[in-house]
Structures are given as structure tokens and as C-alpha cells.
Structure 1
Amino acid sequence: MLVLGPIGFAAPWVLTALIALPVLWLILRAMPPAPRRVLFPGVALLQGLTDRDPVAQRTPWWLLLLRMMAIAALVLGLAGPVWKPVAQADLDDALLVILDAGWAAAPDWSIRQERAESALKAANSKGKPAALLIADGRNDRAALSFDTGQALLGQVRGAQPVAWPTTYPADPEEVLANLPDGRLTTLWISDGLDHPGHDQWQSTLIERGELRVFAPSVRPVTLALSEADEPTLLLRNAPQDNVPEIVAIGPDPQGIERELARFRGDGPNVVEDGNQRAIPIAMPPELRNRVSRFEIDGQRHAGAVLLADDRVRRRKVGLVGDADNQGEGQQLLSPLFYLRRALAPGADISEGGLGDVLDAAPDVVIVADQVDMADAPQLSEWVEEGGILIRFAGPRMAAYEDLTAEPLLPVDLRQGGRDIGGALSWGDPRGLLPFAADGIFAGLEAPADVAIRAQLMAQPSPELSQRTIASLSDNTPLVTRQRLGQGQVVLFHVTANPDWSNLPLSGAFVKMLERLVAMARVSNDLTAIDQGAETFWTPISTLDGFGRTTSIDGLAPVAGEELDAGPGPDRPAGIYGASERRRALNAGGPVTTARWGNAQIEQDDADPGMFLRGYLLGLAAILLAFDALGSALVVRGGRIAVLAILLALMQPATETRAQDGVMPDPELVRAADEVALAYVLTGDPATDQTSQEGLAGLSFALRQRTSVEPGEPIGIDLDNDDLALLTFLYWPVTDDQPAPSPGAYLRLNHFLRSGGMILFDTNDGDVAGVGGPDMSQALRRLAAPLEIPPLAPVPEDHVLTRTFYLLGDFPGRWDGNPVWVEAPPAREDSADPVGFRQLNDGVTPVVIGANGWAEAWAIDDGGYARFPVGRGWEGERQREMAFRFGINLIMYVLTGNYKSDQVHVPELLDRLRIEEGGGP
């Protein structure tokens, strides 16, 4: 690029055409040769005549200047001028492009690729060798090979950010071993963060030549989890003026991933500390345990995703034991007191009898010194379905005569127990053996001061060693467990209070319970423990640099100490499992801005300068147009032509209207002609496809069962399409759906006033429960500008219940949710509402529900259902009722509520009977 003062030229060679301007000026100014004087007597007859339209002897100066200016503007425009352009690196030497490829580079990855491509193309045009270093840590020992810039473009276009921080090779000299002779120009496309080896690479590159840095203007917004007892979301680097929200995502009851909750980054309970905001996870345990990930709304990189593991999920724990309400002094003797204090920070606790606790659907049930329980069969069934039962021994269990027949014990027990440190015993209290490295308590420290004074002894058996997960110093079992169906039974051979040991007074007791509770509902496969796989973590699911789930092919198990170091090339961000435990390796965390010293910085949001090409070419076109007008002024009839053009330009502009002859969209004409069902385009491809397939299925049912033969459904763009030709509109409501323009709302209100109907479907019937149409925030936002009358649930005598089929409810893919229509007016002289049957032939303009009708109607190209509905025969019957509701709805739209007249048949018959018989 040639820079002349504040103006740069992308194609400076075009400026050589300006040399021709003086020559062109001389050509245009040239005069014809002087005429020769020849005496001719007949010329005397022409004396006194005048030429009213003389031909000019030379071009007028103003027209000549106009043409010169037009040609100069054209030449300058073709030269690609830029006002105050960003200075580019002079590629007089070899070029090295370093492309940071960590997760922090994902938000503006396409811009980084474009910058790298432009630098490589510039090097290729100048014939300079170039090399590309993608800093993802995968090939950090191979020496770079310098090639043409064109040969490296494929690598740039195929590169993708990774789900770990940018990683540089350890030895810059080794990587630059193949550097050509001479100096090196480096373009470092940085993610703006400081990484290990950054300073060493920077100093090495500055010694080799010029270093230019293309860096982002802001740091990425990240999401992490606090290490406190109560998990808290940590939002870092969020802008103060526009704090993003955090979305909790997980499977719904049908197993479909969807948004479960949303947290404000500037809510009332948020604690702000510098550039960090602590956001509590305020969710019901049932919903919180289904969360698989948290995401920062609007951010698309792995650092904005927080995968949920065992630390996030709060278990529901049911406590069963003797009541401890005798008094403050007696409470300290109750086992439930110590269990409650140990579990309260990380679990939701419910207490009561065994039957009451099971009714609360807990994840873990803890029973303290209880035998011969009345609800043991129900408890056994609950464990086999996946529950975790933790039992504690005690005096009652030790004295139970039929202890060998007691169900739900992991091992056979001896009656009477063992008194180790009593007055009549021969030994001292026993301590704890270190926990096994491949067990559920791996990593926990066995306190040396824990003393066990009494315990219930297990009968010797070949399985005893496999079922023991914690032992005393004499190798007798302290904690045993056994798998039962899909669940587990765990037994502490000591009491939950200090009667038999001081274990409940130690921190190890709390951590042991946390480990046992954390494995509830996560994994019940004990094979990994028996094989000693606890020290290695196997990847279960991983992310890419954009925060999307990707394949785990080629990844090997990772040692626990490596996971502590954070994500890396062989351990991307994701979920890793070891036996029952799940651990999330997240990319988000504290970040440090890189410092660049004497390097030249290019900001990604820097003003690239004002491109003047379009302005100059437009000016040239205008000047040439004026040249045409000026030429017309000096030729015959030119004045009349110019006058006509000016008069045409001075005519006032008229608004083009549809009634003035502009034809509407052919698709809308077809929809009106074929009675095609219409749906609103939301911008979400999956939702729009479901709407199209759903209305296609409903149209097929209408053609098969009624005289209505709809055409193919049509998608409606509310901002551009005319609704005057439509009668029915299906509107699926999504959370991210943008609101239509004000003009679209004007058309929608006119559509409703002129007899049209909109079916709003929030499709959240599986989570919304019973409520009104205001339960969906997205629906309230989208429907607020519409002129919607007061609404009420569909009454039993509404025409919609009998338009074609007799219906009692209106299911879709979901069932049990109310459907809302226009409320009937109330009598002026009575508080009782008037039945809908007495309205003046009015059809409700809107129908609102959450049952997901389009998914129930949707069929594929073969005519098969696209989405499951319920289970077995009941599900197919529900789908049939959904089709019947759709047919009733369309018949109601097309025919009005004419069937409401049938309710007057009994009164009419009574009147006829009176008139004919003369009395009642």
C-alpha cells in the first residue's frame, strides 16, 4: 500500500493513468485547422443571412473541466484510496504468522483467520517465504518449514480453536531452526492473554526482526465454579454496562436438552468483587440435579461453558432415626444431630418415618440404628431402582436377636457387637487404616486421632474383603457396601454419634458422607473400583473451542494429578469419570492480560480507515451524468431535452401501494387459494422445520377426514409478508425469538381484527405445569403489543370442543395444560359469567397453550411421526386426540361457531311443543 499523507492507495499502479490527463486536455482543446480564403462570387448572395444554431469552434471550458474531473475521480477510485489507513508491515523479509488457537480466540475466530490470510497473501504476492505456527500445543517440537503464503492458506482455513488455553512450543530456537537467512517479520495474532512461554517467545522474535501483534480489545468473559462448600457461579470480566445472563441447560423429562433456568449477572443476590461476580445457584434440587452445563448467554467459547459435575448437584437426603427433640442437652446424644450437621452444607435434608422419607423421592436414605423396619419391602424396591441406602450400627442393632435375618445389610453381622476399649476388653481403641487408593474414599486422609471403641463385627466370608471400603487398624471392617439391583447398601459398623467412636466429631466423617452422597444417581457401576481405575479419569464427553460437545475419539484416560493442572492438548475441557465419580474439567478461570513491550499493536476494533473507492466512483458517475447534460445544452434540441429531464426529476415521488397494481407474493396468493396453513418463521431452523412438518401432518389429516383440502404449509416472515390473505397462523414461541417490527405488529393487529386467528404454542407443557398464558416470559414479550382480549381457559361448552369431534381436552405432545381463549363477557346484572354459547357469533382471535401441537402433528416424507408422544398405546391415543384438536381448530377458523346454534335446539323444541299443544 502506498501512503501519501493521510491517504493510502491499495492499487497505487493505477495512479499512472493520471499522466494521460494533460494529453487528454490538449486533445480536447485542439482546434481544427484555419480555413483557406477562396474568392467565390456566389457568396455575395449569402450576405445578411445568420445561422441561428452555430457550431462551436471549441469545447466550452466548463464542460472540459467537468470531463477532466470525472476522469480523475475514476482513476483515483480505481486506485483504492483509504483515508488514514492502518499501516501494514513491510514484507521485505520472511514472514512468520503465529495464530493463538486456545479457547479465548474462539469469539472472533473468523476475524483472526481473515487477518492471517491477508498477511499470507501479501507475502505470496511479494514472493517472500512464510511460515505458520498454530499455537494449540499439538506439534510443539517440530521445526517450522517456510513455504509460499499460498500453500499455507489451507492450514489457516482448516484451523479451529481448541478447548484448552493457547500453548506455545517450549523452545523457540528449535522451532525456528529452518529460518531463512535475513531478518524475520512476525505477525502474532494473539488472544490477548498471557500464557506460559509468552515472554520468551516475544523476546526471541523481537531479536529476529519486527514484531506486530493483532490483539483483541477486550478480555473474554469466563465462567467458573467456586471452591466453597456451597457451589457458586463465578462470572469474570463481564462488562459493567451490559452484564450477560447465565443459562442452565439440561435434559427435560423426555431427555431433550433445553434451558432449565436463567440467572441474572446483576441480580440482587450477586456479590461483586472487582471484575468477578459470585452468582448463587438458586434452583430446586430436582431441577438442579438435571443441569448438565451452565453457559454465558451470548458467548460462544469453551471458557463461557461450565460443565456440571458432582460438585454442582445437591442431593436430597432422607434421615430416619429416633427423634432428638427431648432438649438441648439430649440432642447432642442423638445420631441425627451429627448426620444433620455433616450433610447440611451440601444436601437438602428431609426427616421423618421411613414411609414419609420415601414419599419425598430422596436420592439417599440414611438410617441410624433401626432394625425390623415396617417399610423394608418398599425400601428394598427403592434401592433396587437406583437409590443409595446408608445405615449406621448402634445398641439396638447389636442387641437384635434376629440380626442374621435382617434385610438390606451389605454383610452378615455377629450379634452383640465388639467392645474394644471398654473396662472388660483386653485391647485399646482402634484407629483407621489409610483409605484405599482405588476406593470411594481415595484421596481422603485418615485422621490419626480417630479412635473406635466399639463396632459391629462382620461374619467372615470370601466376599468380605471386596465389600469393605474402610477398615480399622486391625483390618476389621469399618464401612462395607454391596450392590443391590441398580442401587447400593452401605453400612457404618459404628454409631453416628460419639457413643462408640469419635469419628462423628472428625472432619473425615463429613468428607466420607459427602463422597457417599455424591455418588447417588450418578453411576452405580462398581466394576471400575474393583479393577483399580480410580486413579485415572476416563473422558466421557468433551468440548471444542467454541463450547460445543465434540467426539472423544483418540483420548486416553488421564491421571488425577494431570487433571489438577487444568485442560491441555491431551485433556480437553469436558466431563471425566472414575468409577462412580464425575469430574468436570472446565476451561474458564482467571485470566491475565498479555504485555507486549515494544511490539507494534494492531487492535481488532481499530478503525481500518475510510475507504474512498465508492465515493470517488460515485462522484465520477455523477460528473459523467452532468457531462451528458452539458453536452445536450450545446447541441440542437439540447435545451428541450434538459428541460424535460429536469421536469421529470422535479415530479413528487408517489407511494407505491398494493392496490395501485403491485401484485402480492405468489406464495401468499397460493396460500389463500389452497387454504394453506401458515406458520411464523422464528429464525431457528429446527423450530421452523418442526412447524412446517407439523402443519403438513395436520393438512394431511384434514384431507383424509374432511372436505377441506389444504395445500402445502407456508412460512410467514412477519416483518415483510402481508397477512391480509391468511386466516390462520401458527406461532411457535421460543426464548431467543426476536420481536417483530412495529409495522409487523400493526399488520398483526389488523389481522386479528379482520377475523384471523393465531395459535400461540409455547411448547413448554412438560415443565410449565398448571398456569396461565403469562407463564412464558417469551410469550409475554412477543404478545405484549398485540390487541388481545381478556382470556380464560376453554369452557366445557365452547364450540371448539365439538366443531368436528367431541373433545374434552386438547393434548399435543404434552398433556394436562390449560388452553386459553377469549373470555366470555359477564352479565351487567349478575356476577355469573355468560356462557360462551351466548356470544354474538364471535370467534376467539387467539388460542394459547403449551402442549407442543406441531411436534404431535409432525410427519416425515414417508408419513411417519417425527416425535414420540407418551408411551405405547396411550401415546398413540394422545397423538390421535392432538389431530382431532387440530381438525376442530381449523374447522372452527373456517366456519366460525355456527355449531353453537345447536345448543338452542332443546329450547326450540320446547317452544314448538308449547305452540302445538297449547301448553307446557
Structure 2
Amino acid sequence: MMMLGPIGFATPLILLALAVLPLLWWLLRALPPVPKRVRFPGTVLLKGLVDANPVARRTPWWLLLLRIAAVAAAILAFAGPVWRPAPAPEPGDALVIVMDAGATAGPGWRAAQTRALRAADTALGDGAPVALLLADGRSEGALPFLADDAIAAALRAASPQAWPGAYPDAPDTILANAPEGGLRTLWLSDGLDHPGRSAWLSALLARGPVDVVPPVSPAYSLRMVRDGTQPELELQSTAPEARAVLALGPDPQGIPRELARLEPSEGRSAFGVTSWPVPVDLPPELLGRVTRFQIDGIESASAVVLGDDRLRRPVVALIGQGQATSERQALLSPAHFLRSALERSARVIEAGLNDAIAAKPDVIVLMDRSGLDADGALTDWVAEGGLLIRFAGPRMAADPGLAEEPLLPVRLRPGGRDMGGVLSWGEPRPVAPFAADGPFAGLAIPPDVTIRAQLMAEPSPDLPSRSIAVLSDGTPLVTRADSGDGQVVLFHSTANADWSSLPISGLFVQMLERLVAGAGRATAEPQGQPQGGSWTATDVLSGFGRLIEAPDAVPVAAEVLADGAAPDLPAGIYASGERVMALNAGAPLALAGWAGATVESARPSGIPLAGWLLIAAAAVLIADLAGSAALRGGRRSGRVTASLLVVASMLVLLPTAPRAQVPFGDNGPADQPVPELLAPFEVPQDDPTGADDAQADPDGGAAAEEPRAEVDPDLARAASEFAMGYVLTGNAELDELSRAGLTGLSLTLYSRTTVEPTPPVAIDLETADLTLMTFLYWPIGPDQPIPSADAYLRLNRFLRGGGMILFDTRDADLAGSAADASDDLRRLAGPLDMPPLQEVPQDHVLTRSFYLLEEMPGRFADGDVWVAATSTEAGTVNDGVSPVVIGGNSWAEAWAIDDRGLPLFAVGAGMDGERQREMAHRFGVNLIMYVLTGNYKSDQIHVPALLERLRQEGQP
């Protein structure tokens, strides 16, 4: 590419045609316009007169200038001018492509991948070797410099990882295979500073120029900075605007959905990065169902915080009679006070001791109970990590063997201490301020909280260290001690108001919440540090923030997991026995500096100018024609000039890069051949998902630099023109059958109705935006992979938003299609939010939306068809349209046609089979009309009643 200032020319040799312009000028002057001939006898009287302005003898200079300008504009247009093109590399220099591939690279990955592919193709075309360095922290050894298609294959297979980005150590060792001579670098950055970046920048600058391509999308990171019953998240971004954070998890029916939308608080900016606190102010019962927090609209591993045991509501088992000692009233019992204090932060169950241990709760609370077995099941439960909370009372105080009671944090004296009774000389004692390093640190103590009676602890050297709350005189109020992997906590007073005013204060609730918040969370300390044992990944995040099953998981020591996500240790869910730990990829962000490197402008580069120049040439030629007509004079010239001005105005309003479109519904002759009618359905079969739609623009445009480059063009088409979609199943043969079937149904709709569908769209449930679709055909086959939770979230939104899914089990309904459906259907459709089903009744709108039907066959004819059960609200939800239709008649095989428009599969035998195929097409037409028009046809059932009423009112 030749550069001329800010303009580059893709075909500079065509500029040599500019040398012809002087010759063209001379020719135009030598060949004046053809004079107008007027035959009039009276011209003989003009003989001898001389024209003072001989226009016909010489072309006017302004007309010559217009024609020269039009030819020059055309020559420049065909030379392929580009405004501010990407800098052309020096031929022969080896190329190193560096791509940030950490957890924050997901949003701009497709654009960066496309730019890298274009650069690699250009370098390979010039004969220069290319190397690829992915900054994902892995040790790769010396980089190979290749000159074949292996680089392109590696780029297409590359993807961001679910851990923070980092660069390998020893850049000189990694670049040991670099060829002699110049070495240039194309650095596709996510805009952030990662470990090792400065060393690599210095090493690459020492070998040659470094061109840095900034990201097309801002970077985002989401972290949990505080867990427990009131967790808090922190959102960081290089963008000045905040995004909402979604709390996702199953609803009470187990269907994944959006549970809450969290709005960030006021942010603060520093060094180009803005941070927003995101308080998670959710009810405990809702918080316990959250499985992940995710930044709305951002697909990257750093934008996801997975939930684990730290968000789960602990289970607390209350053991004891719960009877008040002074009055036999339920509202005065210790169980009532404990239940009221714990119901907000925990799930409370009440059972006997053996039943409670069998339920595996996180906390067991014993109320005024003694005489426990030192070697019983309760001791084993505590030793395995349980939290036992005990409360004193009259029974414990009266027990003569209290000094030998097991499962106590300290030795107790029998009898207790009465400080506020009628026979005592003392006054009730207030609670002393809590220690700054204890579990109750920071809690305010109301002045009216006093203790009238307590169980006294035997003095011992470790008594102060085991006391986590004391009275004003230093005597223990709450003590705690370890027992195996668990803990035992003792309140030296009662759980009701008999011995103190603590249970009727808000401080009692806060103290219990602090104790219970850490229970059942042996997987993590407040900052998420795993404790002991080995951990195995069950599910891991991809670089785009999707949770997938962990492949070939290897146990990891707790010490390794405590360091956070790292190379080959992706973010995800890790388990150790019954403990669950979430490892997240979010990390603090810091902008990168590029001293010495060339950073491309954030504006799109490489804007082609050919279209504008051709429009300018056409406009100049129109002006030339108008001028020529004006020179000829007459009324006709005025009309010609006006027409040319209208054409010029329309030409200027045209887009610079018009594209020819052939709509499927182009109304042609009725006898149009079938192959021509099927031409719009010829879609590429090598990439039905549209995954390669982000390839380089041949004109060198900015499509790869814009975030919209990731939009599937088929889905964009379906948003403006009706198109049916079929779900990709992973089985190429079944997917091709779905495409052929919907193609045949689309042709039937086009020829019989006013619906003009465009070619069917292949739908990848993991990536497709279903809000652009109206109808999905989902064939059920064996061994289909279950979509992810995010996919089911999008499917449920699709169904609630008025979309329809046709489930086709293709088994002639041998396994059933509704409540007794096949295992594959139950497995795939189980997580969907579907209404109760019923067989299609005879008066259903689906039987008369276009044709009057009594049967709904496909390739098979005897299977039942199921729709949503009718209800009084049917007309107010989705316009009364059933969100799902389920059957097993294999409709796609009955609709399917080949490229010539002929059926692909036999249906039945003879004329009966052709009638069955016809009825299958009629069912398809009814189905689509039902989807598009709703239940307006159901009003026909009121016609007889209305006519009868009119007849009665018309009678005298």
C-alpha cells in the first residue's frame, strides 16, 4: 500500500492513468459538442453575419473542468484509496503477535482475533514468519516462527482464560527462535497492566517497532470484598459509567433466572480506573439461592463472582424443650427467643438430637441441657466441623456433675451466680465492651442490657483467651473453644429473659448472626481462604464467563487454591467432601503505559474512500450533462436539468457501500421455477453458528474494530424480517435435517400465505440472542448436551416474552410427549419454565388459525400433540399463545426439501402418503400463523351467540 499523507492506496499503479488527463483535455477541446442543426428557409437572410460568441467552435472551460474532475475521481476511486489505513509493515520483517488472553480479554476478543488474523495473513503473504504469544501466564518455551497456515489455525483456536493475564518470564529465552533481521510487534492489548508486561515491552522495543492496538471495549472486574450475611461486591472498570450487577440463581421451582438486579453506589476514580461498591442487600432466603453475580451485558470471567457456602443460609437445629421456667407460655420459652433471633439469617429446624444430627445442620443449639455423652454422635459431629452453641439455665445449674460435663469450652461451677435476686446483695451487671479482635467486634452494647444470673467458670490460665464476651466485673458471659475441626460456644446465661435482658435486645440477634455467619463455612474464612484438605474442580468458568463441566479435574492443595485463580487453575467451583469453594477471577485493574510504542487511535482506521469518489464522479457527470443541456437551450433543457438534479439528490442520499439484497418474498411470476425460488436459502454449511462472522472486511473497513462485529448477521436479519430458527444439537445430520425442514415450511408459507420468511437461522443456545427470534424448532435426539444455566435463563426470557418452541421427539410419540415424556425430553426441557400441558383440544386456535385441521401429522401420524393448558388468564399471557408445543411426529422430515425443491423423505405410501405430507404442511402453516397472529381466531366461537342475540333483538 502506497501512502500519500493520511491517504493510502491499495492499487497505486492505477494512479498512472492520471497522466492521461492532459491528453483528455486536448481531445475535449479539439472535439466540441455537436452543433444543433435547425432547418429554416429564412436562414439565407443571415448569410454573412458573424457570431460574437462561437460556442460550438470550442468547449467552455468550466465544462472541460467538470469532465476532467469526473475522470480523475473515477481513477482515484479504482486505485482503492483508504483514509488513515493501518500502517503497512516493512516487507521481510518477522512479526510477533501478542494478545492479552486473561480473564478481562473476553469482551473485545473477537475483534482482536480478527485483527490478528488479518495481520498474520498480510505478513505471510509478504513471506515473513509469524509467531503468536498469548499472555495467559503459561510457560510456552521458545516461540516458533512459522510461515504457514498453522498460525491462522492457532489464532482461531485461541481463547481467553479464566484467570488473570500474565506474561512469561525471560523474554529473551522466549524469543530465542526469532530470525535475524528486523522484528516488529503487533500488540493486541486489553488496556490493562499485567505481570511481566513492562519487561516484555522493553525486550520487544529493543528488537524493533511495537504497534499497540487498544481494546474496542472497556475492561470490567467484579470482586467480593466482604462476605457473610451482608456481602458486598466491588465493580471496577476503565469505563466512566457503571453497569448493574445481576444476582442469578434458581427460583423455588429450581429454574435458573434473574433473582435481583443490584445497582452500584457512588464510584471513585483513580488513574483511569473507576470503582463502585455494590452492596448486596438481599433477604437471607433469597441470598441463599444466588449461584453467581454477573455484570449485566459483559461476557468475561472477570465479570462473574460465583457463589458458594459463604452465601448459603446456614441450617440451625434447636434442641430442647424450650419451656420457660417462670411461666408456661410459649412466647416466653427459650426456643421462641432463639427462633425469632435466627429466622432472618438462618434456616431453623426443631428436632430431637439424633434426628438433628442426621439432618447434618451447620449449627446445633442446646437450651439448658446437661448429661451429654462424651463419646456420642454429637461429639463426633462437632469434631467433624460443626458448631455447637449451648445456653445455661436452671437445669444445668442444679446438675451436681456439671464440673465433669463434656462439650463445654470451660469448666463450670455448679449452682450459678445470682446478682439481681431478692436474696442477693449485688446489682445486675452490664456487658463490657467487646474485644477488637473478637467475633463481636464493633457491636454497640445498649445500656439497658444487664445480666442478673450466670453460670460461673472455674479459674484457669486459658479462661481469658476463651472468653469472647465478659461482664463489667470481668466474669465470662460467652466462652468458646475448639473441639476437633468444630467449635463449642457457651452462653453463661439463659436464652430467654429469666436471667438477663440480653435476649430481648437487638444485641442478642446480632451476636447470634455473627456466630452463625461463620458456621458451615469451613471452606472459607471471611476473605475466602480454603482450609485444609484437597480440592477438586467440579465446574469451571470459560474466558467468556460461562460455567462448564471441569475436564479432567486434578485435586489441588488448599494452599495452592488460596493464592487465587492462576494458569491451569481456572476460576470455578471446587469441592472437598461436602465443602464447596468458589474461586473467582476478578482482580484489581490498573491501566497499562506504552512508553516508546505506537498506540493506534481508538477511532476506526482504514476508512475506504472509493464509494465517496465514485459518487462524486457520478455527480460531476450529472452536472456536466446539465451544463450541456443548458448550452443547447430550449424548454427541453430546463426539464432535463430538473430531472438530473432530482437524480443527483437521490444519488447523494444513497449509502456509500450499497449492498444488493434479494428478499425471499420478492413477488415474481406464479410459474417461477422452484430452484430460483430456493436460491435465497443457499446458506453456508461450514459454519452454521455464524462463529466466523468476524472475519476481516475485504475493504479494510472498521468492522473488526467495532463491538458490533460480534453480532450474528442471521440474527440481525431475523430481527427485521421473519425467520424461523432451529436449535443446534451437536449432531450435524440432525441439524441439516432441521434446516431442510424449515426451508420447506418457509417455501410453503411463501406460496400460500402473505408471510414472506427469510432463510432459517441456526441457533446456538450458548451464544444466540433469543430476543430477536419468534419461533424455534428443537429436535430431540439422544446424547444431546444439556445447555448451560445461562442458556436456560435466555430460553425462559424467550418463552415469557412471547416466543414459542416446538419440541419434536421424532419417535412417533412412542415414549410419550408430556408428563410421561422420554428421558431425553425431560432432561433437556426440565429446567424450562413451562406451564401445565394438555393435548390439543378440537376447538383450539391451532386447529383453525389458517386451515381447519382434525389431525396434525408429520412423517408419523399417530402421535399426540401437547400445548399449554387453557386457563382464565390465557388471553392475557403472550396473547393466549402457548409458549411450547410438544409432539413426536417428526415434522421436519415431512417438510424437508432438497436444493431442487423435492421432498427428501418418503411419507406413507401412494396418495395417502402425499395427503399426509400435505396435512403436515398445513399444520406447519397453522403453527406459524398461530405464533404470529395470536388467538384472534378464538373469537369466532362467539359468532353464533352474537348472531342469535342480534336476531332476538331484531324481533318486535
- In 2, the alpha carbon distance for the partners of 1:860 and 1:14 equals 63
Give 1:67's aligned residue.
Answer: 67
Contact 2:339–2:348 under 8 Å retained in 1? no
1:449 to 434, 439, 462: 462
- In 1, the alpha carbon distance for the partners of 2:335 and 2:146 equals 73
- In 2, the alpha carbon distance for the partners of 1:95 and 1:62 equals 51
Go from structure 1 to structure 2 and tell me whether the alpha carbon gap of 1:191 and 1:91 turns closer, same or farther (over 3 Å shift).
farther
Go from structure 1 to structure 2 and tell me whether the alpha carbon gap of 1:393 and 1:539 turns closer, same or farther (over 3 Å shift).
same
Could you tell me how far 1:155 is from its partner in structure 2?
Answer: 2.1
Contact 1:369–1:396 under 8 Å retained in 2? no
- In 1, the alpha carbon distance for the partners of 2:398 and 2:349 equals 24
Could you tell me how far 1:94 is from its partner in structure 2?
Answer: 2.1
Could you tell me how far 1:398 is from its partner in structure 2?
Answer: 8.9
Contact 1:537–1:577 under 8 Å retained in 2? yes
AA of the residue aligned to 2:535: W
Deviations 1:426-455 (A, max 9, x none): xxxxxxxxxxxxxxxxxxxxx9937999xx
Give 1:250's aligned residue.
Answer: 249
- With normalisation by structure 2, the TM-score equals 0.53
Counterparts of residues 443-842 of structure 1 (less than 5 Å):
449=462, 478=483, 497=492, 516-518=519-521, 535-603=533-601, 605-608=602-605, 611-627=608-624, 642=637, 645-646=640-641, 648=643, 819=873
Give 1:407's aligned residue.
Answer: none
Contact 1:803–1:891 under 8 Å retained in 2? no
Could you tell me how far 1:225 is from its partner in structure 2?
Answer: 0.9
Q: How many residues align?
A: 630
Go from structure 1 to structure 2 and tell me whether the alpha carbon gap of 1:684 and 1:51 turns closer, same or farther (over 3 Å shift).
closer
Give 2:135's aligned residue.
Answer: 135
- In 1, the alpha carbon distance for the partners of 2:251 and 2:880 equals 14
Q: Which blocks of at least 5 consecutive residues in structure 2 are unaligned?
A: 33-43, 327-332, 371-377, 415-459, 467-479, 495-507, 524-529, 651-663, 671-716, 728-744, 757-767, 775-797, 804-840, 846-865, 893-929
Could you tell me how far 1:763 is from its partner in structure 2?
Answer: 8.2
Give 1:96's aligned residue.
Answer: 96
- In 2, the alpha carbon distance for the partners of 1:342 and 1:194 equals 48
AA of the residue aligned to 2:69: M
Give 1:112's aligned residue.
Answer: 112
Go from structure 1 to structure 2 and tell me whether the alpha carbon gap of 1:418 and 1:210 turns closer, same or farther (over 3 Å shift).
closer
Give 2:832's aligned residue.
Answer: none
Deviations 1:234-274 (A, max 9, x none): 242358864321112222344432222212235xxx78687
1:849 to 862, 870, 877: 877
- In 1, the alpha carbon distance for the partners of 2:871 and 2:237 equals 39
Give 1:4's aligned residue.
Answer: 4
Higher alpha-carbon deviation: 286-295 or 578-587: 286-295
Could you tell me how far 1:421 is from its partner in structure 2?
Answer: 5.3
Contact 1:221–1:235 under 8 Å retained in 2? no
- In 1, the alpha carbon distance for the partners of 2:268 and 2:3 equals 48
Go from structure 1 to structure 2 and tell me whether the alpha carbon gap of 1:598 and 1:551 turns closer, same or farther (over 3 Å shift).
same
Could you tell me how far 1:172 is from its partner in structure 2?
Answer: 0.7
Deviations 1:497-538 (A, max 9, x none): 489xxxxx9x99999865653489xxxxxxxxxxx9962211
- In 2, the alpha carbon distance for the partners of 1:448 and 1:20 equals 107
Could you tell me how far 1:618 is from its partner in structure 2?
Answer: 1.2
Q: Give 3-state SS (helix, strand or coil) of 1:294's partner.
A: strand
Could you tell me how far 1:4 is from its partner in structure 2?
Answer: 2.8
Deviations 1:533-587 (A, max 9, x none): 9622111111111111234213322222222222222111111111111111111
Q: Give 3-state SS (helix, strand or coil) of 1:347's partner.
A: coil
Q: Give 3-state SS (helix, strand or coil) of 1:156's partner.
A: helix
- In 2, the alpha carbon distance for the partners of 1:895 and 1:713 equals 28
- In 2, the alpha carbon distance for the partners of 1:177 and 1:683 equals 51
Deviations 1:608-640 (A, max 9, x none): 2654222111112233344556667889xx978
- In 1, the alpha carbon distance for the partners of 2:564 and 2:211 equals 30
Contact 2:229–2:345 under 8 Å retained in 1? no
Could you tell me how far 1:854 is from its partner in structure 2?
Answer: 2.2
AA of the residue aligned to 1:68: I
Give 1:697's aligned residue.
Answer: none
Deviations 1:76-124 (A, max 9, x none): 1222334455655545632211111112221111221232223223323
Give 1:438's aligned residue.
Answer: none
- In 1, the alpha carbon distance for the partners of 2:587 and 2:721 equals 33
Contact 1:320–1:351 under 8 Å retained in 2? no
- In 1, the alpha carbon distance for the partners of 2:389 and 2:242 equals 47
Residue 894 (1) aligns with residue 940 (2):
yes
Counterparts of residues 36-75 of structure 1 (less than 5 Å):
61-75=61-75
Go from structure 1 to structure 2 and tell me whether the alpha carbon gap of 1:591 and 1:186 turns closer, same or farther (over 3 Å shift).
same
Counterparts of residues 872-887 of structure 1 (less than 5 Å):
none
Contact 2:626–2:644 under 8 Å retained in 1? no
- In 2, the alpha carbon distance for the partners of 1:690 and 1:819 equals 29
Give 2:424's aligned residue.
Answer: none
Go from structure 1 to structure 2 and tell me whether the alpha carbon gap of 1:607 and 1:900 turns closer, same or farther (over 3 Å shift).
closer
Q: Give 3-state SS (helix, strand or coil) of 2:462's partner.
A: coil
Go from structure 1 to structure 2 and tell me whether the alpha carbon gap of 1:57 and 1:219 turns closer, same or farther (over 3 Å shift).
closer
AA of the residue aligned to 1:849: V
Go from structure 1 to structure 2 and tell me whether the alpha carbon gap of 1:713 and 1:849 turns closer, same or farther (over 3 Å shift).
farther
Go from structure 1 to structure 2 and tell me whether the alpha carbon gap of 1:579 and 1:899 turns closer, same or farther (over 3 Å shift).
farther
Give 1:259's aligned residue.
Answer: 258
- In 2, the alpha carbon distance for the partners of 1:690 and 1:149 equals 37
Contact 1:319–1:350 under 8 Å retained in 2? yes
Contact 1:371–1:396 under 8 Å retained in 2? no
Go from structure 1 to structure 2 and tell me whether the alpha carbon gap of 1:143 and 1:317 turns closer, same or farther (over 3 Å shift).
same
Could you tell me how far 1:143 is from its partner in structure 2?
Answer: 1.1
- In 2, the alpha carbon distance for the partners of 1:226 and 1:310 equals 16
Q: Give 3-state SS (helix, strand or coil) of 2:587's partner.
A: coil
- In 2, the alpha carbon distance for the partners of 1:585 and 1:815 equals 44
Contact 1:302–1:546 under 8 Å retained in 2? yes
Contact 1:302–1:548 under 8 Å retained in 2? yes
- In 2, the alpha carbon distance for the partners of 1:392 and 1:685 equals 68
Could you tell me how far 1:641 is from its partner in structure 2?
Answer: 6.7
Give 2:179's aligned residue.
Answer: 180
- In 2, the alpha carbon distance for the partners of 1:574 and 1:888 equals 43
Go from structure 1 to structure 2 and tell me whether the alpha carbon gap of 1:235 and 1:686 turns closer, same or farther (over 3 Å shift).
farther
- In 2, the alpha carbon distance for the partners of 1:819 and 1:541 equals 40
- In 2, the alpha carbon distance for the partners of 1:175 and 1:127 equals 22
Contact 1:324–1:337 under 8 Å retained in 2? no
Contact 2:369–2:396 under 8 Å retained in 1? no
Counterparts of residues 318-397 of structure 1 (less than 5 Å):
319-321=318-320, 347-348=345-346, 366-369=364-367
Give 2:223's aligned residue.
Answer: 224
- In 2, the alpha carbon distance for the partners of 1:666 and 1:110 equals 38
Go from structure 1 to structure 2 and tell me whether the alpha carbon gap of 1:448 and 1:72 turns closer, same or farther (over 3 Å shift).
farther
- In 2, the alpha carbon distance for the partners of 1:899 and 1:665 equals 42
Go from structure 1 to structure 2 and tell me whether the alpha carbon gap of 1:55 and 1:596 turns closer, same or farther (over 3 Å shift).
closer
AA of the residue aligned to 1:819: E
Could you tell me how far 1:736 is from its partner in structure 2?
Answer: 9.0
Go from structure 1 to structure 2 and tell me whether the alpha carbon gap of 1:494 and 1:815 turns closer, same or farther (over 3 Å shift).
farther
Go from structure 1 to structure 2 and tell me whether the alpha carbon gap of 1:858 and 1:602 turns closer, same or farther (over 3 Å shift).
same
Give 2:811's aligned residue.
Answer: none
Could you tell me how far 1:309 is from its partner in structure 2?
Answer: 1.0
AA of the residue aligned to 2:876: I
Give 1:755's aligned residue.
Answer: none
- In 1, the alpha carbon distance for the partners of 2:135 and 2:284 equals 42
